[in-house]
Structure 1
């Protein structure tokens, strides 16, 4: 029997805004209702799958919750408690976020292995893949807009918390690349979807979760880059050159933990994945008119962000000049499926090389925009922005940095970013990707467009990070 809906709605409305993955923190919840409720396990503990319809400022977003019910909540689960139901409809017990309960996450693997259908939920197993069903799921510790459950050293399950209609691009791309045997993506093992038409959903299945190969030896690219930056910032300043210069990109290569060789290898891996994406989804031509439409959208986004974030306005003229340069020289360009939200946090360094993750696209984009073909140098520009972020993140955070003036630290950050940007582009071009140096105006426009997106995102979600994109814009938009 399902928990009492009215009481549960009140509990969820109080709990939801505090979750990292809830996207509506900037406003109150006007209404919350339970769109679907599916019991996946009976007894004590019980497991219920919920899809919540959350109304805010006239729009409705859908969120996925795995709800556990126990008559007594053990100490290890008290920190994920949502509240207590007091006997309504025969239910007596505590409700809590079940992703933290291994006893309740384990059945998800069994349902995928058996390709079960339970109510509107359809569990799928990738062809030719075995799924180990005896493993317990443990939530990952990374800060994410979704929830990842790690099952031993074999599987990782990404639960898409905020749902988009239809097939999630991450599932679509990973299945396609897995079929091609791509060496730079984890293999897809299974997925969970909501049957078409459920509770007003799309006419195609809505992706709820993706089960992939887990790579226990993988190290997050962002953390590797930050380690390199920290080592470089801690180095004593090199002697001033004849012209009085203090730091150059070459100087950054003298620091312990130099990242340039890894950046070059990452560029080569990116080019390989772009080739696989082109083979899997095809390549088309964007006309001159379509290129100009893309530039128009860049300027439109800049207008919106300038109105909301005054700090970007001093850079607006230089940004528009970069956009307009592409429009003035517009010509047909090849476009294809790309990653769409490419940065150092989306890659892992494993024992065998770099692996790309999370092909969902930018969170603020519509599903149609996330799937739209783009020039592959858009991904290159995203990674170049990420090197700028890594170079300045520790300075913006004002953490355990060596003594020095802000100007001196900025010069060091600039040198690190320039060295690794060049290495990445060299590796990408050498591995067969379009040479960024030969498309400098296009890369610059893509990079500035991404920076505008970053300014908007940080202003809305992480105001303390806003100085990071603004500092790099002050340098790049000169």
Structure 2
């Protein structure tokens, strides 16, 4: 028996957890794998376990579910946990047809249609009302930030561009983000903005409210799991990626924006270093980092054959890093954004840049995403993003990328007092590792984009041999 199956489905019994699962199981087996945020694509779902069922409205009109999906080959493990808001209706209105999970034919909800309630503005309003009221609702805990104010009556607008989470904008004033695949612990997308707010850093939107679930662990304390965050909505703000592509299309210079982004990134890094503990990467830690990067290179090359000719030269980047560590070089590590690129940056109409989405790479374990890293990791991510923007435009404009990369580093140096270009070995190692990750992603999901990271890896390999 799996761990999840052996554990009682806490809080589910009040709403007839087993009966509800009987109703939804055949529908969810079809619907869940089709969602973009479902992590187990390519493997069949063999069963579900309900961790919790919480009615947000009476008579099962709106249910909050924490649902574990079991898939081979790890069927004996706990399974991935997903957060769902499920509504039911006798007749689903035409505008909610894309939200349909399916028609229920058995169990206590037979004859009704289940649907993803986050796509229903009427039901999304219920969620906002819950976020207005701190306190407990079954296993759910709702919290308000120090300066949090949640007005009544804001009109919801679900966002359609979904990835690892789902978002609803309320009255163009607030935005709620719900994490679909949830992991025990505090999500960095709540933890880091709260820490930055305490430091008075206004480069990141401050959480207005959030909610979580709490699981006693049999000791003096327990463990919380972040489920969603409510933040200010930056109305009229321009996405950094779209802004960069617009400048490329018009053949306009982007260095002033890149310079400002460098300053913003440095300000956030400095505030994070003040707010949260920093550590020093020892020789052993740095050598382990280099070994992990080397392993990723060799593993990826087996899956992306185009990478094979560059492996020896790219490996030398990681060998150079390990060599510096052996010579006694150390680096300060701190909490960083973890997945920084142009799409995680918003420019307000005033010209001020903000950084968003501190969740990190959702495919990685939460504990790994909360580990400290040298700031070079975020810097390398932005350098790769400028290269991506330039490569995605025709004709390719390598000078545009070079000038943006230089301007970003200059802006970073002006705000931090340290120029990342003066530490080329670690910066190159992180950039190489990022491009290797990109090559595997593109080979699996967007083969037409594979030439973008491959061009960077060819350049990095050449730099290592000259």
Q: TM-score normalized by structure 2?
A: 0.89
Superposition map of 1:159-238 within 5 A: 159-197=178-216, 203-231=222-250
2:384 equivalent to 1:385? yes
When residues 472 and 206 of structure 1 are mapped into structure 2, their CA distance, relative to the original with a 3 A threshold, is same
Tell me the SS of whatever aligns to 2:397.
helix
When residues 434 and 142 of structure 1 are mapped into structure 2, their CA distance, relative to the original with a 3 A threshold, is farther
Give the corresponding residue for 1:156: 175
Task: After TM superposition, give the deviation of residue 329 of structure 1 in Å.
Answer: 1.4
Worse-superposed segment, 347-356 or 202-211: 202-211
Give the corresponding residue for 2:69: 54
Task: After TM superposition, give the deviation of residue 379 of structure 1 in Å.
Answer: 0.6
Verify the 8 A CA contact 1:170 1:358 in the aligned structure 2.
yes
Superposition map of 1:16-415 within 5 A: 16-43=32-59, 46-59=61-74, 60-86=79-105, 88-89=107-108, 91-197=110-216, 203-231=222-250, 255=251, 257-330=252-325, 331-352=329-350, 353-394=352-393, 401=394, 409=395, 412-415=396-399
2:426 equivalent to 1:434? no
Task: After TM superposition, give the deviation of residue 376 of structure 1 in Å.
Answer: 0.6
Tell me the SS of whatever aligns to 1:431.
helix
Verify the 8 A CA contact 2:64 2:83 in the aligned structure 1.
yes
Tell me the SS of whatever aligns to 1:210.
strand
Partners of 1:87 and 1:433 lie apart in 2 by 65
When residues 90 and 315 of structure 1 are mapped into structure 2, their CA distance, relative to the original with a 3 A threshold, is closer
1:344-375 deviation per Cα after TM superposition (whole angstroms, max 9, x unaligned):
11110112411001111122322121111111
Gaps of 5+ in 2: 1-14
Given candidates 409, 421, 435, the residue that maps to 2:405 is: 421
Task: After TM superposition, give the deviation of residue 309 of structure 1 in Å.
Answer: 2.0
1:310-331 deviation per Cα after TM superposition (whole angstroms, max 9, x unaligned):
2221221121111111111121
Verify the 8 A CA contact 2:263 2:414 in the aligned structure 1.
yes
Task: After TM superposition, give the deviation of residue 267 of structure 1 in Å.
Answer: 0.3
Tell me the SS of whatever aligns to 1:92.
coil
Partners of 2:284 and 2:28 lie apart in 1 by 48
Gaps of 5+ in 1: 232-254, 395-400, 402-408
Task: After TM superposition, give the deviation of residue 9 of structure 1 in Å.
Answer: 0.9
When residues 347 and 90 of structure 1 are mapped into structure 2, their CA distance, relative to the original with a 3 A threshold, is closer
Verify the 8 A CA contact 2:320 2:425 in the aligned structure 1.
yes
Tell me the SS of whatever aligns to 2:39.
coil
Partners of 1:87 and 1:294 lie apart in 2 by 53
Partners of 1:263 and 1:93 lie apart in 2 by 52
1:377-403 deviation per Cα after TM superposition (whole angstroms, max 9, x unaligned):
111001001111111124xxxxxx5xx
Worse-superposed segment, 312-321 or 466-475: 466-475
Partners of 2:318 and 2:85 lie apart in 1 by 45
Task: After TM superposition, give the deviation of residue 432 of structure 1 in Å.
Answer: 1.4
Give the corresponding residue for 1:466: 450
Task: After TM superposition, give the deviation of residue 53 of structure 1 in Å.
Answer: 0.8
Verify the 8 A CA contact 2:175 2:231 in the aligned structure 1.
yes
Q: CA RMSD in A?
A: 2.0
Verify the 8 A CA contact 2:37 2:164 in the aligned structure 1.
yes
Give the corresponding residue for 2:21: 5
Partners of 1:454 and 1:57 lie apart in 2 by 27
Verify the 8 A CA contact 1:377 1:434 in the aligned structure 2.
no
Partners of 1:230 and 1:128 lie apart in 2 by 41
Partners of 2:86 and 2:244 lie apart in 1 by 37
Partners of 2:162 and 2:448 lie apart in 1 by 16
Tell me the SS of whatever aligns to 1:340.
coil
Give the corresponding residue for 1:249: none
Partners of 2:408 and 2:423 lie apart in 1 by 15
Partners of 2:214 and 2:150 lie apart in 1 by 22
Tell me the SS of whatever aligns to 1:88.
coil
Report the number of matched residues: 436
Partners of 2:156 and 2:417 lie apart in 1 by 38
When residues 459 and 56 of structure 1 are mapped into structure 2, their CA distance, relative to the original with a 3 A threshold, is farther
2:443 equivalent to 1:455? no
Tell me the SS of whatever aligns to 2:108.
helix
